[in-house]
Structure 1
Amino acid sequence: MLTRSPTATWIPAWVPKSTIFLSFLLMTCSMVQSATTGYDGSMMNGLNILPSYTNYFVLSPATTGLNTASIFIGGFFGPLVSGIISDHLGRRPAIFWGSAITLVGVLLQTAAQDIAMFVIARIVLGFGAALSGIAGGVYLSETFPSQWRAWGVGMLNNFYYVGALVAAGITLGTGQWASTWAWRAPSLFQGIFSLMCILILPFIPESPRWLVHQGYYDEARLVIAQTNANGDLTHPVVLTVYKEIIDTLRFEKEVGRTMHPKEMFKTPVARKRFLIAIPPGIFSCIAGNIIASYYLGAELTTAGITDSIQQLKANVVLNAWCLVCAVGGTSLASNWGRKPTAILSQVLLITCLFIIGGLSKMYADNPNGASSALVYGDVAVMFLFQGFYSIGWTPLLTLYPPEVLNYSIRANGVAGTSFALNAFALVFVFIMPIGLNNITWKMYFVNGSWDIVILGMIMYWWVETKGKTLEEIDALFEGEKHSSVPDVEMVRKGREQIDAKDVEQEISIEVEGLGRKLE
C-alpha cells in the first residue's frame, strides 16, 4: 500500500507503508552513482583490453589515460555545485538532475566518433554522476534509520561492484564482436542505473532533515515515521528522532550556522570535521585500487597473463570477489566499527602491495623462465588486494564522511570529499598507465609506501561513529548533544523511556517558536 508523502519539491512521492520495503527502495535509488561508476571502471577495464576499441581510437599510453580519466574531469567540476544544489532544491531533485545529465553523457559516449567526442561525453557523464552521487550519499545518510545506517549507506558504494559485474559480463560477451559495437554496446548499457533511479524517485520520500530545515515539520515527522515505524507517528523512536533533529537544527540556527560553503572553515570544530571527512575520498583513490579498477589488463600483463579473453574473464571473477568482500566489510563496519575496519583494511593493503611488487619483479627479471606458480601466485595476491580494499574503503567512502559532518556543512562537505577524490583520481588514473609502462613493478612499492602514511593518519585522526544518530555524533566533536531526549538506539532497544506526552508538548512549543522557516 502506498501513502502520499509531501516533499516540498516538484517531485511528488507515494511511499510504501512497510519500513523494510521503503529502506530497500531508498538503497536501490541511491545506488546510481556507485553502480554507474563501478560499471564505468569495469567497462573501461574491458575496453582497454579490446583491440576493437584501442584500434578505433589509435590509442597511445597518454590517450588511453585521457580517455579513461576524463570522467574525473566532470567529477572534478560536479562537486563545485552539487552541495549547493542539494541544499537548495532538495536531495531528490538533485538526484534526478544528476541522473538525467548522466544519461546525456552515456548517449554521447556511445555515439563517439573520435577521441575528442569520447572525452567530452565522459566529462558530461562524470559531472552527472558526481551530482547524483553526492546528493544520494547525503540523502541516504539523512533518511535511513540509524540502526541500519551502516548497512544502508555502506551498501550504497557496494553497488559499485554490481555495476562492475554487469559491465564485466557485457564486455566479455561483446568482446569478440568484429564491429565498433563491441565497445559501443557496453557504453549504451551504462545508462540503465540512472534510468532505474529516475523511475524509483516517485516512491521514496524527501530527507526529513532537509524538510525540517525548510520549515516543513509535519512533513518531516511523517517521513521519520515512514522510515522508522511503518508510518506510526506516535512511536517513541519517531518522537525521539524528530525531537533530536528539531533541537539540533534549532541550535545550529541559534549559533548562526548557515548553508554557505564557507561554514566548513568558520570554526575550529567545523574545520576538524571537514579535515576528517575529506581524506577518505583521497585515501580511497590512491590506496592502489586504480591499477586493477581501470588497468587490470596492464596489471595482469605484468604478471604474465596476456590473452585478452582470459583478462576479461579475470575481470568478471575479480568483481564478484570484491562484491562479497564489500558486503563482509559492511558487516564489520556495522558491528565492529568504522575506524577498526579502516585500519584492518589498510594494513592488509600495504602487505599485498609489497608482495605484488616483489612477485612482479621476479616475473620481469625472467619472463620466459617464470613458473606458472609464480604467475598465478601474483594474480592471487592481486585479487586478495582488491578484496581487502573492498572490505574497508568500498563501504566507508560513502558511510563515514556524512556521519562526521553536521547538517549545515553535510552536503558541501560530502561534495568536498567527492571533489578531492575526483581531483586525485583524475591525476592517478591518467598517470597509472604511464607509470606501469615506465617503471612497471616499482609502482607497487611506491603505492605501498604512501599507504603506510595513510594508515598513520587514520589511527591519529578518525573518531568512531558506530551506533549513533547523526545528531548524537555532535557530542564527539562539540562535547555535548544538543537535545534533551535519550539516545535513539537506547529508546529503540527499550533501555531508556520517554514521556510521549511531555515530548509532544515540547515539540509543539519548539515548532511554534521556530515559525514556518528555520532560515
Structure 2
Amino acid sequence: MADTTVTPGHFKVAGREFAAVKWWNLKNLRGTYLLLFFVVLTSATNGYDGSMVNGLLSLKQFKEYMHNPGGSIKGLFSGIMFLGSLLALPITPYIADGLGRRWGICIGSSIMIFAVVLQSASVNFQMFIAARFFLGFGVAIAHGAAPLLITELCHPQHRAIFTTIYNTTWYIGSIIAAWLTFGTNHIAGQWSWRVPSIVQALPSLLQISCVWFVPESPRWYISKGKPERALQILAHVHAEGNAEDEVVQLEYEEIKETLAIEREAESTGWLELFKTKGNRHRLLILVSAGLFSQWSGNGLVSYYITGVLDGIGITDPNTQLVINGCLNIWNCIVATTMCFFVDKVGRRPLFLISTGGMMLCFIVWTICSERYDATKIKGNGSAVVAMIYLYYTSYNVAWSGLLVGYTVEILPFSIRAKGMCYMFAFVDIALFFNTYVNPIALNHIKWRYYIVYCVWLAAELIFVYFFYIETCNTPLEEIAKHFDGDAALIGGFAATEKGRILEQEIHAKDHKEATTNVHEHEEKVGL
C-alpha cells in the first residue's frame, strides 16, 4: 500500500517530496483556478434546483397555479429530474472521453438552458415535469465531465481541495434559490415562481461562455495521442510554462506511461469494475457513496423541508423559507471549511465522524419529533429544527464534498468517466426513490418514517468502517496502489513491478513495429 505520510509544507509526486507552492503568487496557476470557478458551476446549478423546488412548494402562488399538487405529484416534480439524469448516464462517458471534458460541460449546459426555457414557460404541471426531465438529462452530462476536468487539471498539491470544493458549491446555488424564492414570495402573480425558474439558466449561460478559456485535461490529450499538447498544459498550469520543471516531468512521464499501460491492458469497458479485486472494491465504494449521500435522511430536508416543518407546527411560508435559507448558508460555511482538512485529517476519519454524527443527530431528531406529536409542546418542535442544523453539520463534514472528491480520485483514467456514472446512477436511483416516496411517507406515518433512517445510518457507519480506505497525500495515478497493490497499472518513476513489465513489453512492441516499418520502407526503395 502506498505511503500517505508527507512532511508538512510539502507534496508528493512519484514518491518524492517537493516544497509546497503558493498558488496566489503564480500567475498561470492563479488564473487557472479562477477559471475553474466556471467548471464548478455545474454543482451550483444542481443545488439551485433542489432549493428552488423546496421554495416553490412553499409558495401559495405556485401551488394554486399547479392546482395544489398532492404528495405524489410533489414527488414527481423532483423525482422526474433524477430519472432524466439516470437515462443520460450511458452516453455521458462517451461525450467526456470522446469529445473532451469541456465539450461535455458545454453540451450539458446547452440542454439545461433549453429545459429552463420550457420550465419557465410552463402552463401546467405536465409541461413543468417534462422540462425537469430535460434538466436532469443535461445536468448528468455536465456532471459527467466537470469533476474529471478539475481533478485532472489541478496541481497535485491542490487536487484534493478543489475536487472536494466542487460538490460543496451545491450550497451556493441552494442559497441563491432559497433567498430568491423568499423574495419573490411577495410578488402576487405567476412571476413569483417564474422568476426563480428563469434565473436557473444563468450558471449554464456562464459555463457555455467561459469554459473554453479553461485548459483541457492533459490526461485527455495524452489519451488522444497528443502528448506535446498535454506537456504544454502541464507546464503552463503547474510550472508557469517551464516544461523542464522536475515536477512537470515526473507528472508527464507517470501519466503518459500509466495511460499507455492501461490502453495495452484494454481496461476501458463498462464491466472492468467487476473484473479484479481492486476494481470490485472501488465499485463497492462508488455504489455505497451514491446511496449513502442521499439515503441518509438528508433528502427529507433538501426537497421536502416544508413537510418536515409542517409536522412540528411551523406552517408559515415565510418562516419556512427563512429556516431553509439560513440552513443553506450554514451548510455552505461548514462544507467549504471542511474541504481544507481533507488531506490534513484524511478521508476515512472524516467519513466516520460524519456518518456517526448523522446517526446520533437523527436519533435525537426522531425522539423530539415523537415528543412534539404527543405533546404539541413548541419547545420540542424547536429542538427538531436545532437537530436538523446539527445533523447537516455532521453531513457536511464529509458527504457533501467527498462524494465527488473521493470517488473521482480512486478511479484510474481508463474507467474514470464510466466509474463516475456508476456512482451518479446510484445517486439518481436514491434521489428518485426518496423524492417520490418521502412526501407520501411523511403524509401517512409522519415521524415514524424517521426510524428507517436511524437504522440505515447505523448500517452505513459499519460499511464505511470496513470498506473506505485512506488515499490522502497520494498523486492521482498512484492511488491505484491503495486498491491493487503491486498489480496496479502504474508507469513512470512510480511504476509497480507489473507496470514495469508492461512498460518493457510496450517498448519492445513499439521497437518491433518501428523495425518492421524500416524494413518495409527499404524494400520499397530497393535497398
Q: Under a length normalisation based on structure 2, what TM-score does the superposition of the two structures give?
A: 0.87
Counterpart in 1 of 2:521? none
Q: What is the aligned counterpart of 1:474 among 461, 480, 498?
A: 480
Corresponding residue of 1:54: 63
TM-superposed deviation, 1:433: 0.6
1:322 Cα deviation from its structure 2 partner: 0.1
Aligned residues: 476
What are the Cα deviations for residues 24-49 of structure 1, in whole angstroms up to 9, with x where unaligned? 212x1221321111001111111111
**Among 19, 23, 34, which residue is 2:33 paired with?**
23
Give, in angstroms, the shift of residue 404 of structure 1.
1.1
Deviations 1:189-219 (A, max 9, x none): 1111111111221211111111111110010
Partner of 1:411: 417
Deviations 1:429-449 (A, max 9, x none): 111111111111112221111
Partner residue of 1:99? Answer: 109
Q: Residue 285 of structure 1 corresponds to which residue in structure 2?
A: 294
Q: Does 2:429 correspond to 1:423?
A: yes
Contact 2:277 2:484 in 1 (8 A): no
How much does 1:296 deviate? 1.0
Matching residue of 1:3: none
Partner of 1:12: none
The answer as to whether partners of 1:283 and 1:454 remain within 8 angstroms in 2 is: yes
Q: Which residue of 1 aligns with 2:248?
A: 238
What is the alpha-carbon distance in structure 1 between the residues aligned to residue 63 and residue 508 of structure 2?
A: 63
Contact 2:102–2:212 (CA<8 Å) still a contact in 1? no
Which residue, out of 52, 58, 83, partners 1:43?
A: 52
1:71-96 Cα shifts (integer Å, max 9, x gaps): 11111112121112111111111111
**Aligned counterparts of 1:511 and 1:203: Cα–Cα separation in 2:** 38
In 2, the alpha carbon distance for the partners of 1:223 and 1:511 equals 29
Counterpart among 33, 42, 45 of residue 33 in structure 1: 42
1:274 is aligned to 283
1:11 corresponds to: none
Residue 493 of structure 2 is matched in structure 1 by 485
C-alpha separation in 1, matches of 2:511 and 2:287: 36
Pair 1:465-2:481 in alignment = no
CA separation in 2, counterparts of 1:155 and 1:484?
29
Identify which of 355, 366, 384 aligns with 2:364: 355
Maintained 8 Å contact 2:82/2:431: yes
Query: 1:372-391 maps to which residues of 2 (within 5 A)?
Result: 373-391=379-397
Q: Deviations over 1:479-511 (max 9, x none)?
A: 136234259xxxxxxxxxxxxxxxxxx9xx899
Contact 1:70 1:122 in 2 (8 A): yes
8 Å Cα contact 2:112/2:134 also seen in 1: yes
Q: 1:286 Cα deviation (Å)?
A: 0.4
Quote how far apart the aligned CAs of 1:304 are. 2.2
Letter in 2 for 1:237: V
Match of 1:335 in 2: 344
1:139 and 2:149 equivalent? yes
* Aligned-residue offset at 1:263: 2.5
Partner amino acid, structure 2, of 1:465: T
The correspondence for 2:271, drawn from 262, 268, 272, is 262
Match of 1:442 among 448, 461, 482: 448
Structure 2: distance between partners of 1:47 and 1:360: 25
Q: CA 1:22/1:514 → structure 2, altered by over 3 Å: closer, same or farther?
A: farther
Q: C-alpha deviations, 1:38-63, integer Å up to 9, x for none? A: 00111111111111111111201111
- Name the aligned partner's letter for residue 239 of structure 1: Q
Task: Please give the residue correspondences for 1:118-267 in structure 2 after superposition, counting only pairs within 5 Å.
Answer: 118-258=128-268, 260-267=269-276
One-letter identity of the residue aligned with 1:220:
A
Deviation at 1:245, TM superposition (A): 0.3
Provide the rounded CA distance (Å) in 2 between the counterparts of 1:142 and 1:35.
Answer: 20
The 1:116/1:418 distance shift into structure 2, 3 A limit, reads same
Seen in structure 2, the aligned counterparts of structure 1 residues 467 and 365 have a Cα distance that, compared at 3 Å, is same
Distance in 2 separating the partners of 1:150 and 1:256: 28
Structure with max Cα Rg:
2
Shift of 1:275: 2.2
Q: Distance in 2 between matches of 1:109 and 1:417?
A: 27
Distance 2:509 2:406 in 1: 31
Structure 2: which amino acid aligns with 1:360?
S
Note if 1:454 corresponds to 2:454. no
> Aligned letter for 1:459?
Y
Amino acid corresponding to residue 104 of structure 1 in structure 2: F
Give the secondary structure class of the aligned counterpart of 1:193: helix
Check the 8 A contact 1:17/1:226 in 2, yes or no. Answer: no
Shift of residue 107, structure 1, vs aligned partner: 0.8
The one-letter code of the counterpart of 2:399 is: W
Please tell me whether the aligned partners of residues 274 and 405 of structure 1 are also in contact (alpha carbons under 8 angstroms).
no
CA shift digits 1:201-252 (9 cap, x unpaired)? 1211111111111110010111111221122211111011111101211211
Aligned AA (1:483): G
Q: 1:66 to 1:301 in 2, by over 3 A?
A: same
Query: Mean Cα displacement is larger for which, 288-297 or 269-278?
Result: 269-278
Post-superposition shift, 1:253? 2.1
2:373 is aligned to 364
Distance 1:334 1:51 in 2: 46
- Structure 1: distance between partners of 2:129 and 2:98: 30
8 Å CA contact retained: 1:33, 1:130: no
Once residues 35 and 48 of structure 1 are traced to their aligned partners in structure 2, the CA distance between those partners, rounded to angstroms, is 20
How far apart in 2 are the matches of 1:272 and 1:335? 24
CA distance in 1, matches of 2:104, 2:88: 12
Contact 2:273/2:419, CA 8 A, preserved across alignment: yes
Corresponding residue for 1:74? Answer: 84
Tell whether the 8 Å contact from 1:263 to 1:408 is kept in structure 2 after alignment: no
Amino acid paired to 1:343: L
Residue aligning to 2:315: 306
Contact preservation (8 Å) 2:331, 2:396: yes
Q: Deviations over 1:95-153 (max 9, x none)?
A: 11001101111111111111111111000000101110121112211111221112111
Whether contact under 8 Å (1:176, 1:182) holds in the other structure is yes
Matched, 1:399 2:405: yes
CA displacement 1:436-482 (0-9 Å, x = unmatched): 11111112221111011111111111121111112111111221362
With 88-97 and 476-485 compared, the bigger mean Cα shift is at 476-485
Q: 1:511 to 1:147 in 2, by over 3 A?
A: farther
- Structure 2: any 5+ residue segments left out of the alignment? 1-25, 496-503, 515-527
* Contact in 1 for aligned 2:112/2:139 (Cα 8 Å): yes
Identity of aligned residues (%): 33
Distance change >3 Å, CA 514–CA 331, structure 1 → 2: farther
Which whole-Å CA distance do the structure 1 matches of 2:218 and 2:102 have between them? Answer: 12
Cα distance in structure 2, aligned partners of 1:109 and 1:333: 38
**Aligned: 1:323 with 2:332:** yes
Cα distance 1:245–1:61, how it changes in 2: closer, same or farther (>3 A)? same
CA displacement 1:146-199 (0-9 Å, x = unmatched): 211121111111110000011011101101211111111101111111111112
8 A Cα contact 1:240 1:485, kept in partner: yes
CA 1:138–1:218: 2 relative to 1, 3 Å? same
Equivalent position amino acid for 1:472 in 2: E
Amino acid of the residue matched to residue 454 of structure 1? E
The equivalent of 1:496 in structure 2 is: none
